[in-house]
Every structure is written in structure tokens, then in C-alpha cells.
């Protein structure tokens, strides 16, 4: 030990604040509680029992009955909400099932809103990709390109259908220009002024969505790079968030989360509304699959990933591990 370090030794000892669990808890900068997490759920038309999703260990497509049960468990665990995704039996070019009151997502929303709507926030994905036979998030024109403005008309109709079914928050995930103001206007004109909007503002064209496409039986061929963001662009994500704020978003989203923590931090520093992030299917599945193989402690890794997202500025996180972690008492 040098004279200089000896002089500093009595004064600088950061490890003093790490010496016990109680001390670490006292000085912890970031917390992760059940209320900070939203559980994404898949409901598939025609199922009579849950069906495991091979590329997402521990995650299932649900029947209406199992969806009710899992939503009750989520409420009892104190989660912030559930985000519902519908998997229809049939699809067409304009996603008719998305606006059909008897379509699987709207039926499921009514069921869950009746079951748990007062105890957690029932949320619905507002996008056409699950319902179209081409798998894109919007309507296609006669040249096979996504027609932005025609898609907005479908989004407005979807918003009314989901609000009528009892959704309290609509997740605008299609990445069409002007979608937030279009949906907000449609809802207000129809009298649904209290339905909140979550804008997937910085949604990147990511390879980490792969398992999700298995979960919703996506019909997509090609890619969505003409409307989702280039992973190379950080400022563009901030710009999209600012646009959604101007258009009246109640919450803005960064998706995926782990690969875009820099964007999340920038959006959180600028936003005047809550900022959420989505730890997407591939991010979840990497950890879950590694844990299955005994390569890491799955619970600790999921918690560490979620804490990093919270630390980067997310007020809430969509996570497939949310209920499992809450039921194990690991969220405090």
C-alpha cells in the first residue's frame, strides 16, 4: 500500500454500503416491484387448453378459460397489467377479425375486463399483423406496399372495437405515421375519452421478435423495415417519441429493450409522460433457453435484465417472466 492509498484508506470505503443484505436494500437505487411489470398474453381461437410455445420456454397460447385463470393470477400477484394478443383461426387482407366484435381478441378482452378489470389494467395490442393473411401491420396497396393512410382507417376501427370490449389501454404497435392522433381522434369522437394510448414510438426492425411470430402464427414473408426503425438509428427513435407526445400519447414505448437502452435513456430524459419498454420474445427466450440448459440462473438473469431496463429509465416493462417472478416473491 502506498502512502497516498494509506491516507485515503480510512475515508474511502464504498464496500461499507454492500456489507449486508439490509444495507444493500437500504441504499438500492432502483426497485422492481410487481406493479412495474405488464404480462403479455396470447389467446388463440379454437383452443380448449393451453398450448406451449416451443421457442418461448414457459410461455403458452391460451384458451379463453386458461386466459381468465392466468389474468386472475396476475391480478392476485399485483402486476400492473396484462397485454392481450389475439391469434385468429382465419385471416384476410384487411384483418377483418380485428374489428369483429366476435373476433378472438375482442371476445377475450370482454372476458378479462369482466374478470379482473378493476384490479389491473387490461391492455390490448392494436395492430393488424396477427389478423392479416400477409402478416404486415397495415393494409397493402395494389403494388403490395403498406398503405399508411388506409391502415390508419383500420386502426381507428380497431380502437373503437377494443374500447367497446373493455380495453383500458390500447397498444399502438403498427408504426404507421400519424397513428396516435388518428386513434385518439376516433376514440374521442366515439365518446371513449378515458381510454389511454400506449404509443410504440421507438419500435425497431429487430431480429429479436422471432419467437413472437411463432406465438401469433405470423404469416409474414419479407420484413417490416419500411415502417419499423433501423437499429442503427438512435436519434430517430427519440424523434418518433416526440411526435407521439405531440399527438397525444399517454405513454410512449421503446421496443426492444435490452439492445436499445441508450434510446430508452434519451426518451426518458425528454418525455413528459410515462415511458415503458418491452423486453421482447427473443430477449426473454435467450435467458429462458440458457436456463433450461443449466448455463445460467434464469431467475437472476431475468431480474438483472429487468433492473437494467428500469435503471435506464423505464417506468414499466412488458415481460413474459413477470408472473413467474412475482409468484416466486422475487419482486420487492
Catalytic positions, written as ranges:
203, 255
Q: What is residue 92's DSSP assignment? A: B
CB atoms within 10 A of CB 145: 11
The cell for 238 is 427519440
CB atoms within 10 A of CB 68: 18
Q: What is the 3 state secondary structure string of 256-317? A: CCHHHHHHHHHHHHHCCCCEEEECCHHHHHHHHHHHHCCCCCHHHHHHHHHHHHHHCCCCEE
Peptide bond into 256 cis (omega under 30): yes
250 Cβ contact list (under 8 Å, min separation 6) = 169, 196, 197, 198, 273, 274
The cell for 253 is 414505448
Cα 325–chain centre separation: 17
Element (H, E) at 121: strand 121-126
Task: Please say whether the beta carbons of 166 and 117 come within 8 A.
Answer: yes
The cell for 19 is 456489507
Per the listing, cell 435513456 goes with 265
The β-bridge relationship of strands 37-44 and 60-62 is parallel
Amino acid at each position: 500500500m502506498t502512502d497516498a492509498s494509506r491516507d485515503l484508506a480510512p475515508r474511502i470505503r464504498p464496500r461499507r454500503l454492500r456489507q449486508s443484505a439490509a444495507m444493500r436494500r437500504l441504499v438500492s437505487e432502483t426497485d422492481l416491484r410487481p406493479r412495474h411489470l405488464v404480462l403479455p398474453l396470447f389467446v388463440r381461437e379454437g383452443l380448449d387448453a393451453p398450448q406451449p410455445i416451443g421457442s418461448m420456454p414457459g410461455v403458452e397460447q391460451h384458451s379463453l378459460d386458461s386466459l381468465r385463470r392466468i389474468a386472475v393470477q396476475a391480478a392476485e400477484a399485483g402486476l400492473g397489467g396484462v397485454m392481450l394478443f389475439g391469434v385468429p383461426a382465419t385471416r384476410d387482407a384487411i384483418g377483418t377479425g380485428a374489428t369483429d366484435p366476435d373476433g378472438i381478441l375482442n371476445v377475450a378482452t370482454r372476458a378479462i375486463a369482466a374478470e379482473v378489470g378493476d384490479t389491473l389494467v387490461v391492455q390490448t395490442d392494436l395492430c393488424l399483423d396477427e389478423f392479416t393473411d400477409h402478416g404486415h401491420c397495415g393494409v397493402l396497396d395494389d403494388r403490395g406496399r403498406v398503405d399508411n393512410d388506409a391502415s390508419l382507417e383500420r386502426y381507428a376501427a380497431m380502437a373503437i372495437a377494443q374500447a367497446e370490449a373493455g380495453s383500458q389501454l390500447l397498444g399502438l404497435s403498427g408504426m404507421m405515421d400519424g397513428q396516435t392522433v388518428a386513434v385518439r381522434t376516433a376514440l374521442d369522437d366515439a365518446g371513449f375519452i378515458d381510454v389511454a394510448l400506449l404509443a410504440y414510438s421507438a419500435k425497431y426492425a429487430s431480429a429479436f421478435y422471432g419467437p413472437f411470430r411463432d406465438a401469433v402464427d405470423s404469416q409474414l414473408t419479407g420484413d417490416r423495415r419500411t415502417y419499423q426503425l433501423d437499429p442503427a438509428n438512435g436519434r430517430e427513435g427519440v424523434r418518433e417519441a416526440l411526435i407521439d407526445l405531440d399527438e397525444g400519447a399517454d405513454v410512449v414505448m421503446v421496443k426492444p429493450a435490452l439492445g436499445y437502452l441508450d434510446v430508452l435513456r434519451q426518451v426518458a430524459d425528454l418525455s413528459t409522460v410515462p415511458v415503458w419498454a418491452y423486453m421482447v420474445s427473443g430477449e426473454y427466450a435467450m435467458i429462458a433457453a440458457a436456463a433450461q440448459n443449466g448455463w445460467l440462473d434464469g431467475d437472476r438473469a431475468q431480474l438483472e435484465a429487468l433492473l437494467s431496463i428500469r435503471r435506464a429509465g423505464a417506468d414499466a416493462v412488458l415481460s413474459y417472466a413477470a408472473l413467474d417472478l412475482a409468484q416466486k416473491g422475487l419482486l420487492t
